[in-house]
Structure 1
């Protein structure tokens, strides 16, 4: 069984550690958020539905393939699984996808329903291919919907037309970002959450 493999156990440990870190920072309240990591060309490990991400253990994860088929009997994956799958299908170099649900990300997603742009921050250099703070990073915002495959198709279409996106927001919902590994994806979450906090603070302090 894939659940007995060293790769599965290593990825579960890293994702559970991410959950504890994000919970400590208030980025995954209640049962919000979902995490996944690539196991091989056809399968990913993903959080099961309805678990608090600060208290994840082995039972909080399961395996699905890139068609959305459940490979861990008796478990139910996150309702947003296809938002993860679409990224792994798009880019074989992606090793992890993380979804957080911070207050700052949620508020900005409602203030900017058509997307926002992060300009001239040094921390932008945390993202791939950005080497200078003198740049801009667009963060698209997609309307929330219960039709997750439709939303995944919208994300896929947008990214086909706008290469270079490092993350996106779902309105009233939170952040999705990714990386070559769980560690890289965590770094991107931290960078986005810092930048979102800066954006919120700048609006509070503006006359």
Structure 2
């Protein structure tokens, strides 16, 4: 992806995540794959609602900073692990949506309650708690790299996609599904034959 375009997109998506309260303050991190050897990622410690195009850092696939000021997100290792594990992933969003985090403390999320959940998300795994920024967390998330979205107990949510819009749409839908489940509690899913039909679309 063109780097200038990627920077513009990241500014817009980060601001949108902040406005929709899908992330707060300096929480969360977002990235884009620029090419086979480089990614563009958000900086550490900066409010996602007020980022500029110059705030992002270019990293190689081993985490070395190739361009930009400041420090990359402490979760850069997790982003890199996902990119390496899934060549089809070109964008990653990692943030802390309230209902997603709350649901991980109660039960596993279900995405078979509505057609949109099935179509946009598929099955969403929840991994156990790991200290943020650790290799253990990166490895645990990467083990679920084929999933469109991943939840981490008491921590956060990750979505990935072919581009930033794709990853953003999945994050928005993930939080909607979590909020729906928090509101209605336990309920019936769509019929199995309907879920199968949707999965084939």
TM-score by length of 2: 0.84
Aligned to 2:160: 178
Aligned to 1:81: 76
Alignment equivalent of 2:117, drawn from 98, 119, 124: 124
Q: Secondary structure at the match of 1:119?
A: coil
Aligned residues: 187
Aligned to 1:138: 124
CA 146–195 in structure 1, closer or farther in 2 if over 3 Å, else same = closer
Aligned to 1:57: 52
* Residues 1:46 and 2:41 aligned together: yes
Distance in 2 between residues matched to 1:140 and 1:95, nearest whole Å: 22
Offset of residue 117 of structure 1: 3.2
Aligned to 1:169: 151
Q: Is the 2:127–2:140 Cα contact (8 Å) retained in structure 1? A: no
Q: Is the 2:127–2:153 Cα contact (8 Å) retained in structure 1? A: yes
Distance in 2 between residues matched to 1:32 and 1:147, nearest whole Å: 12
Q: Is the 1:117–1:139 Cα contact (8 Å) retained in structure 2? A: no
Distance in 2 between residues matched to 1:73 and 1:20, nearest whole Å: 20
Aligned to 1:70: 65
Q: Which runs of 5+ in 2 are unaligned?
A: 188-201
Give the 4+ runs in structure 1 shifted more than 4 A.
none
Instruction: Tell me the alpha carbon deviations over residues 117-174 of structure 1, each in whole angstroms, 9 at most, x when there is no partner.
Output: 322311124427x6xxxxxx233233131452121112223x27xxx52211122221
TM-score by length of 1: 0.82
Offset of residue 74 of structure 1: 4.0
Offset of residue 191 of structure 1: 1.2
